[in-house]
Structure 1
Amino acid sequence: MSRRRLLGSAGAAGATGLVLGATGGATGFAATRPEEPAALTTVGSTRLMFHGKHQPGITTPLQARGHLVAFDLVPGAGRKDAAALMRRWSDVARLLMAGEPADGGGAHDTGIALDAGPSSLTVTFGFGRTFFERTDLVAHRPPGLDPLPPFSSDHLDAKRSDGDLWVQIGADDALVAFHALRSLQKEAAPAARVRWQMNGFNRSPGATAQPMTARNLMGQVDGTGNPKPTDSDFDQRVFVPVGTDARYDWLAGGSYAVVRRIRMLLDDWEKLSVQRQEQVIGRRKKDGAPLSGGTETTAMDLDKAGPDGKLVIPDNAHARISSPEKNSGAAMLRRPFSYHDGIATDGTADAGLLFICWQADPLRGFVPVQRKLDRGDALSPFIRHEASGLFAVPGGAAEGEYVGQRLLES
C-alpha cells in the first residue's frame, strides 16, 4: 500500500474542526509481516490544517518535538526573492502537514518520514524587524516590532538572536519534525541561509493517563496561568485585530512571537529543598497548585498569610510577580519547548527552556511582565536569558494563498 493511500484511509474517519484523526488506533502497533507498512496509530494519523484564519502552531497543544530556525536573506535577495521563498515554503508546509511527501510525490523527497503520518505537524512562519529593510517594506513594518528593551538577566548571544525570517516546527514524532526541518532548509536556498537553529522537546502524547499541564526541566508544572481559548478576551490578548491603518492589514489575524532561549542553572536549582523551590515559584511542585491552597486551577490568594503573619505566596515568588493581577492584566500565551544541548564549557548542563510566547502586542504582553520579573523575581538567580528574538507572524493563508502574501504583494 502506498504511503498516500495509507494516509487517506487512516485520516478519513472522525474529521471535525481543525484536527482530523483516525479512531481505534490507540491500542498499540498491530503485528505485520515485514513487507507490510505498519498501521498508523492515533498519534501518527492526527492531522492539523495548514489553511485557516490563524497560522497553525499558536493555539495547538504542546507538541513532543520542535525546531526553531531563523534565516537571513542572502545579500542581494529582495522582495521578489522573499515572495518566491514564502510560496515554496507554504507549499511544502501544506503537503507535509497533510502527510504527503515534500515534493508532492516526486523523487526528491528525503524519505525520512516515508512510513509516518502527519503526527500533528505544524509549521509557523514569522518576519523579524530586519526583514522589512531587506525587502523595502519598512512602511509596512508594524510598531509591535520595535526592539525589546534590555533586561538585567540578559546574557544575549547576537549570533543566536533575531533574524529576517523565523520558522517554528512542531510535531508529535521526532522524524516527522526533522523531515520538515530538512525540507524547509533545502527550499531556503538560494534566497536565505540559516542564522541559528534550536531544537526542543516536550512530554509525548499518551505518556500520562490524562492530558495535563507540561513540566519544565526544573520539574515545575509550567503554563497553568495561560489564557484559555474559552476566555472571552482570548483573541484580544493573542491575535492582532483588524486595525485602522491599512499599512498593517497583512498582520490581521496574526500574532507576535517573543522567543527566548533561557538556560536553567540546574545544578544550583537542584541543591534547593523542594520546599524552598516551591517558595521560589509560589506553587506546589507535586501538582502545580498555588501555595495558598486548592488545585492547579484554583486562583491564587495573593493576600493569604500564614500563622507567622507572612504571605503564604512570597512577595518575590515567580507566580505572584508574573500574574496578570500584578501586571495590570497583561498576559501572553506561553507555548515553550525544553532543550538540552549537552554539557557547557563550565561543565554544567546546557539545558533549559525555549520560551515562546504569543500576544497581540508585545509592549502590552511580554514587556511589562518581564520588566516586573526583572526587578525582583526569586527565580532570576537560577536562569539566564541567552538568546532573544521578536517576530511578526502573519495571519493564516487562505486556500490558494501563501503565508505573507498580503504583505509581499501589497
Structure 2
Amino acid sequence: MARRNRRPAAPAPATAPSGAGRGTDPAAPQQPAGTPTGGVSRRALLATGGGAAALGLVVGTGGALTGARAVAGERPTPLSAVGEAVVPFHGRHQPGITTPAQAHGHLLGFDLVPAPAPDARRAAGALLRRWTELAAALMAGEPGERDTGVALDAGPSGLTVTIGFGHSFFDATGLVERRPRALRPLPDFSADALDRERSDGDLWVAVGADDALVAFHALRAVQRAADESGAARLRWQHSGFNRAPGATASPMTARNLMGQVDGTNNPREADEGFAGHVFVPDPDGPGAERSTARAEEAWMAGGSYVVMRRIRMLLDQWEQEPLAEQEAVIGRRKADGAPLTGGEETTPVDLDARTAEGAPVIAANAHVRVSAPESNDGATMLRRPFSYHDGFRDDGAPDAGLLFLCWQADPYRAFVPVQRKLDRGDALSPFLRHEASALFAVPPGAAKGEYVGQGLLEG
C-alpha cells in the first residue's frame, strides 16, 4: 500500500568423480558458500528432474537420469539466468528509462528537510552522491554499506535505480533560476481525484528489479540513506509488478490488470527519432531548434522527464462488460492485442476503416484512436508502467490498477496534450480513477566519479 511518512540444513556431501571438482570447467556456475564440492545445492535440485522427484513431482525416466547426473556431480542446468542480468549504472542516460520493465518496482517521493537554501543544497548534494555510490554498487551486485543481507545469494537481477527532481526541489535549494520550463506543474484534468499526500515531492527515486528481494533490498537502502543523511524524508511510496521474465513461451507485450495487451505502440530505440522523443537534446546540438531548453537548462541535456500517475482500475465494473464491449472500448482484440481493423498485434491501426454500414471500425472514443500520435499532432512518449494491488477497499472492490510512467523530452509536447484529449472523450475513462500524480526532471546519467545531478548543483 502507498506509504506516508510523517517524519534448510546443508546437503550431505557426495563423492565427486575424478576431475569433477570446482575449477575443472571455467563455465560452470559457482556453488553457494557452504555447499560441499560435488554436493547438490537446493537450486541445483530444483533445476533437475531429480529435484522434481525430491519435491514429490511426477517425472519420467528422463527426469530420473538428469537427477542422477546432478547427484553424480555433473554441472546442473541453471534454474534461471535472471539473477545474472546486470544493467550498467554509469552512462549518458540514467538506467531505468529504456531498460525493459522489470518484474518488481518501487517508486519513492521524498521531501527535503526544511533548511536555508545553501544548507539544503549542500545536504541534497551529499545525499545524491551517497545515492549514486549506493546505486552503482547494488546494480553491480555488490553489497551496499552496512548490508542487511536481504539479497544475499542473488545476483543483481536487472536492478536499476533512477533519480529525479520535482518542481519544489528548486525552491528548497535556491535554484529557481535553473528550473526547466518543462518542469512546471501539470495542469488539472477533470478526471483527477488526486491525493496530494501521495503526489509530487522534491526528490524521486525509482527502483526496479526482476527479483522481489533484490528490489526490496535496494528500496530499503535508498530510504535508509535518506533517513541517516537528515536531508530528506519519505513523502510516499508506490509499489508495483509486471510479468516475470520467462513466464511466457516467447517474449510478449505485457498485459495490464484489465487483461489487455498494453504497450504495443511504444516507441523503440531502433525507431528513427526515438532519442528526440525521449531525451532532452543538447541546446547547441542537433534538434536544438525543437527544444525548449535554455542555456541555464543545459544540465538536463541527455536527461528526460517522467510523469507518474497512480490510476486505479474499476475492475468490478470492467469485468462485468462483455468481451465485445471491452474490445470496442480499447479498439483492440483482447486475445492477441491485434487492432479491430485486422492483422496481428503489431499491425498498424487503420483509423479510416469502415464497417459495411459505413461506421468506423475503431470508434471515435476508442482508447487507441484518442491516444494515437496521429490524433495528437505526433505526440510520442515511452510508457514503462507497473501494475499494482494494494488490497481491497471498504466496499470490497480491489484497490488495484496501473502505476503509469511515461518518459519524454518535454511533457508539454507529449503527455499533456494526449491526457487532455483522453480527459475529454476516452471510452476507457469511466473505468479509471487518477489518484496520484507527479512530474520529475530526471538528469542525465553520471560518469564514474560524479553523482547524479552534479551538473545542476555544482555547475
Q: Tell whether the 8 Å contact from 1:28 to 1:41 is kept in structure 2 after alignment.
A: no
Alignment of 1:300-311 (within 5 A): 300-311=349-360
**Counterpart selection for 1:141 from 179, 185, 189:** 179
The question of 1:280 aligning with 2:329 is answered yes
For residue 245 of structure 2, the aligned residue among 197, 200, 205 is 205
2:404 pairs with 1:355: yes
1:18 aligned partner: none
Change (3 A) 1:41 1:135: same
Please state whether the residue corresponding to 1:82 is helix, strand or coil.
Answer: helix
Q: Does 1:113 align with 2:137?
A: no
Matched residue type, 1:269: W
Cα distance, 1:26 vs. partner?
12
Residue of structure 1 in register with 2:440 after alignment? 391
Partners of 1:74 and 1:192 within 8 A in 2:
yes
Q: Partner of 2:329: helix, strand, or coil? A: helix
Q: State the AA in 2 paired with 1:323.
A: A
Runs of 5+ unmatched residues, structure 2: 1-22, 31-42, 52-69, 72-76, 285-293
Aligned length: 384
What residue in structure 2 maps to residue 367 of structure 1?
Answer: 416
Which of 14, 30, 52 is matched with 2:91 structurally?
Answer: 52
Match of 1:102 among 144, 160, 180: 144
2:170 matched to 1:132?
Answer: yes
1:78 aligned residue: 120
Q: 1:11 to 1:159 in 2, by over 3 A?
A: farther
Unmatched tracts of structure 1, length 5 or more? 1-5, 13-24
CA shift at 1:42, angstroms? 1.0
1:292 and 1:312 in contact (8 A); partners too: yes
Counterpart check, 1:316 vs 2:365: yes
The aligned residue for residue 181 of structure 1 is 219
Q: How does 1:246-257 map to 2 (within 5 A)?
A: 246-257=295-306
SS at match of 2:101: coil
What letter is aligned with 1:399?
A: K
RMSD between aligned residues? 2.2
Q: Give the distance between the partners of 2:110 and 2:321, measured in 1 at CA.
A: 40
Contact 1:241 1:253 in 2 (8 A): yes
Percent of aligned positions that are identical? 65
Q: Is the 8 A contact 1:10 1:45 kept in 2?
A: no
In structure 1, the residue matched to 2:17 is none
Match of residue 240 from structure 1: 280
The answer to whether the aligner puts 1:165 opposite 2:203 as a matched pair is yes
What SS does the aligned partner of 1:338 have? strand
Q: State the Cα distance separating 1:347 from its structure 2 match.
A: 2.1
Larger Rg: 2
SS in structure 2 at match of 1:78:
helix
C-alpha distance in structure 2 between counterparts of 1:185 and 1:10, whole Å: 37
Query: Are the equivalent residues in 1 in contact too, given 2:313–2:401 (CA < 8 A)?
Result: yes
Q: Write the letter of the residue equivalent to 2:237.
A: Q
| Cα distance in 2 for residues equivalent to 1:335 and 1:274 | 26
Q: Report the CA distance shift for 1:28/1:50 in structure 2 as closer, same or farther (over 3 A).
A: farther
Secondary structure at the counterpart of residue 48 of structure 1: coil
Shift of 1:39: 6.8
Q: Residue 47 of structure 2 is aligned with which of 26, 29, 53?
A: 29
Aligned to 1:19: none
**Using the alignment, how far apart are the partners of 2:45 and 2:456 within structure 1?**
46
Shift of 1:308: 2.1
Q: Which residue of 1 aligns with 2:428?
A: 379
